[in-house]
Structure 1
Amino acid sequence: MEWYLEAAVAGHMMAQYTIGLNYAAGHNFYTIFDRIFNSEEHVDNNYNTFDQGTGRGFGKKKEGKTEGYGMDDDAIALEWFTRAANQGMAEAQFKAAALIFHKENLGNINNTSPNTIQLNNFLMLAADRGHAIAQACVGRYCDIEFPKHDQGRAFDWYIKAAKQGHKVAQYKIGFFYETGHNAMLDESEAVRWYRKSAEQGHKEAQYKIGVFYQTGYGVGVNESKAVE
């Protein structure tokens, strides 16, 4: 830890991020934003708990926590994640946003408190840098929580996350195409995106595919496929 700290104080981005992970032991960051997706399944997407965009993992997932590594001090973790985030690391930006969301016990990301503004800034930075879960969260904000519900922007962010394999975003894209949200009615695209989500285990998407095979929506009637 001593050498990490020296490097971090000197401005080494990965060392700063690593110290943040060490102090944030106990968090599964990819389920912290679950509640903004309501009944839709959580955002963890089978990513390694601490590995997206870094090539490294620290601790292993066990009942939503890491095992066998580090301490638990969110304030110090946030300080170091923020330093790495300010140098442009998408994963640190996402984790800083997640810690703020957890610390403030927020039920949504739609208010104007200083901490929520900082949270949204970090989420947007991470999303702009290609972080799939951040993109899905920004899409959700535009879709549901944004005061004027900008579904065009929501689709743009969902599709970015969906193309990276984010199963909730894939489900949302399927829903947009099924219902014609944002004037995008397209049966074949609805089936395609629901199927991608269903294949990752999204229960509502699996149900939708079953219904489609039973009714013939976009696929043709196939009772045996429906009951699979």
Structure 2
Amino acid sequence: MKKVFILAIFSIFFACFPVNAAEPVDPVDQFLLAQKYKKGDGIPVDMNKAFYWYEKSAKQGFPPAQFETALFFDLGKAGVKKDYVTAAYWYGQAAAQGEVNSQYNLGGLLWEGGLGLERDMEKAMDWWFLAAVQGHVGSQHNLGYAYTQRGKQDPEQFKKAYYWYHQAADQGAAKDQWHVGVFCENGLGVEKDLRSAIYWYRKAAAQGHTDARERLKKLGY
């Protein structure tokens, strides 16, 4: 009789707890577990389990997990079929919450399009802008490039290209320092200024930028 009573108590006790009580339910904890599986932090690397927990966290609205989930679909990682539409969805969820890398990557997907995702260069630039004003160098560079392409039809656009290249150059990006030098030397979006061009070429060359070094040689510096 006592055994039956004790078993009944244990049955009630365990019924109060979920079977998977050890599994995290908080999105941050789910994300951190995914990171452990991704990096092999104390456990064997398992990208399938990493994806599982990233997606669980993403569905609860956690931006870093939404970004990581998008990467799996963007790159076709760990057996996940490459799917730009789904990648754009998850990047978009995170980007709407201000996640800068998602804004950058979403811009890249929209700029190129493909795999069922409609190309939309205007929206791409809108997302890059949101990342660029947060100081994201890659987005600043991409805006510089985009406005440079527009400048071929409308020279006024070179002013915007110069501005964004300069923003990235100020943060030490060698390729953007090179672009600023080119713009200064040729008067694209800014007054011609060889002295400034040489300054920026030297900044880029000091970081190993080959074109900047070659241009300095041709200019006699």
For the criterion TM > 0.5, the same-fold answer is: yes
After TM superposition, the score normalised by the length of structure 1 is 0.66
Aligned CA distance change for structure 1 residues 207 and 8 (closer, same or farther; 3 Å): same
* TM-superposed deviation, 1:183: 7.1
In 2, Cα distance between the equivalents of 1:99 and 1:122? 10
Matches within 5 A, 1:179-194: 179-180=149-150, 185-194=156-165
Kindly indicate whether residue 120 of structure 2 is the aligned counterpart of residue 150 of structure 1. Answer: yes
Matches within 5 A, 1:52-201: 71-100=44-73, 101-103=75-77, 115-146=83-114, 149-180=119-150, 185-201=156-172
1:14 corresponding residue in structure 2: 28
In 2, Cα distance between the equivalents of 1:185 and 1:104? 46
Task: Decide whether the 8 Å contact of 1:7 with 1:15 is kept in 2.
Answer: no
Task: Decide whether the 8 Å contact of 1:176 with 1:185 is kept in 2.
Answer: no
Task: Decide whether the 8 Å contact of 1:17 with 1:80 is kept in 2.
Answer: yes
Aligned CA distance change for structure 1 residues 131 and 19 (closer, same or farther; 3 Å): same
Which whole-Å deviations, capped at 9, do the CAs of 1:159-189 have from their partners, x for residues lacking one? Answer: 1111122212111212233332797943332
The aligned amino acid for 1:153 is K
In 2, Cα distance between the equivalents of 1:81 and 1:25? 13
Point out which structure has higher relative CO (alpha carbons under 8 A, 6+ apart).
1
1:56 corresponding residue in structure 2: none
- The higher radius of gyration belongs to 2
Which whole-Å deviations, capped at 9, do the CAs of 1:120-177 have from their partners, x for residues lacking one? Answer: 3222211222211111111112212256532211211111111122212111212233
Aligned CA distance change for structure 1 residues 142 and 22 (closer, same or farther; 3 Å): same
The aligned amino acid for 1:130 is G
1:222 corresponding residue in structure 2: 193
Report sequence identity in percent: 26
Task: Decide whether the 8 Å contact of 1:85 with 1:93 is kept in 2.
Answer: yes
The aligned amino acid for 2:77 is K
**Matched residue SS, 2:39:** coil
* TM-superposed deviation, 1:95: 1.0
2:39 to 15, 25, 41: 25
Structure 2, unaligned stretches of length 5 or more?
1-19, 200-221
Which whole-Å deviations, capped at 9, do the CAs of 1:48-105 have from their partners, x for residues lacking one? Answer: xxxxxxxxxxxxxxxxxxxx76541111111111111111001001012223425168
After TM superposition, the score normalised by the length of structure 2 is 0.68
In 2, Cα distance between the equivalents of 1:95 and 1:198? 28
Q: Tell me which protein shows more helix as a share of its residues.
A: 2
The aligned amino acid for 1:103 is K
Number of matched residues?
Answer: 176
The aligned amino acid for 2:168 is S
